[in-house]
Amino acid sequence: MRLLAPGAPLTPSEVALPAPGPQELLIRVEACGVCRTDLHLIDNELPDVHCPITPGHEVVGIVTARGALVTRFAVGDRVGVPWLAWTCGVCEFCRAGQENLCPRARFTGYTRDGGYAEEVLADARYCLPLPGNAPAATLAPLLCAGLIGYRAYRKAGEARTLGLYGFGAAAHLIAQVARHEGRRVFAFTRAGDEEGQRFARALGAEWAGPSDEPAPEALDAAILFAPVGALIPAALGACRPGGRVVCAGIHMSDVPAFPYRLLWGERSVASVANLTRADGEEFLGLAARLGLTASVERFALADANRALERLRSGALEGAAVLEVPRH
Ligand SMILES: [Zn+2]
Ligand SMILES: [Zn+2]
pLDDT in tens, 294-323: 999 999 999 999 999 999 998 899 999 999
Quote the ligand 1 centre to 25 CA distance (angstroms): 22
For residue 106, give the ligand nearest its CA.
Answer: 1
At 197-224, the pLDDT tens digits run: 999 999 999 999 999 998 999 999 999 9
Which stretches of 104-183 are assigned E, i.e. beta strand? 106-107, 119-123, 128-129, 161-165
What's residue 66's pLDDT? 97
| Average pLDDT of the segment spanning 151-173 | 97
Instruction: Inform me whether the pLDDT recorded for 49 exceeds 80.
Output: yes
Q: What is the mean pLDDT of the chain?
A: 96
Phi-psi label, residue 164: left if phi above 0, alpha if psi -120 to 50, beta otherwise:
beta
Ligand nearest to the CA of 149: 2
DSSP string, 53-114: B-----EEEEEEEE-TT--S--TT-EEEE-SEEE--SSSHHHHTT-GGG-TT-EEBTTTB--
Chain centroid to CA 135: how far?
Answer: 19
Query: Per-residue confidence at 115, pLDDT binned at 50, 70, 90?
Result: very high
Is the pLDDT score of 293 beyond 90? no
Counts for the chain of helices (H) and strands (E), in that order: 9, 15
- Distance from C-alpha of 55 to C-alpha of 134, rounded to nearest angstrom: 24
Letter string b/e over residues 31-44, b meaning 16 or more CB atoms within 10 A of that residue's CB: bbbbbbbbbbbbee
In the prediction, which pLDDT does 326 show? Answer: 83
Q: Which-ligand-closest: CA of 274? A: 2
Ligand nearest to the CA of 102: 1
What separation in Å is there between the alpha carbon of 93 and the centre of ligand 1?
6
pLDDT digits (tens, 9 = 90+) for 259-290: 999 999 999 999 999 999 999 999 999 999 99
Q: Kindly tell me if the per-residue pLDDT of 325 is higher than 90.
A: no
The neighbourhood of ligand 1, an ion, using CB within 5 A, equals 87-88, 91, 94, 102
Give the pLDDT confidence score for residue 327 in this predicted structure. 74
Instruction: Report CA(275)–ligand 1 centroid distance (Å).
Output: 13
Sign of CA dihedral 67, 284, 62, 1: negative
195 CA from centroid of ligand 1 (Å): 43
| Ligand approaching nearest to the C-alpha of 141 | 2
What residue ranges in 177-318 does DSSP mark as E strands? 184-189, 207-210, 219-224, 239-247, 268-271, 296-300
**Which residues, at least 6 apart from 205, have a Cβ–Cβ distance to it below 8 Å?**
164, 167, 175, 185, 186, 187
Identify which ligand lies nearest to the alpha carbon of 81.
2
Q: What is the value of pTM for the model shown?
A: 0.95
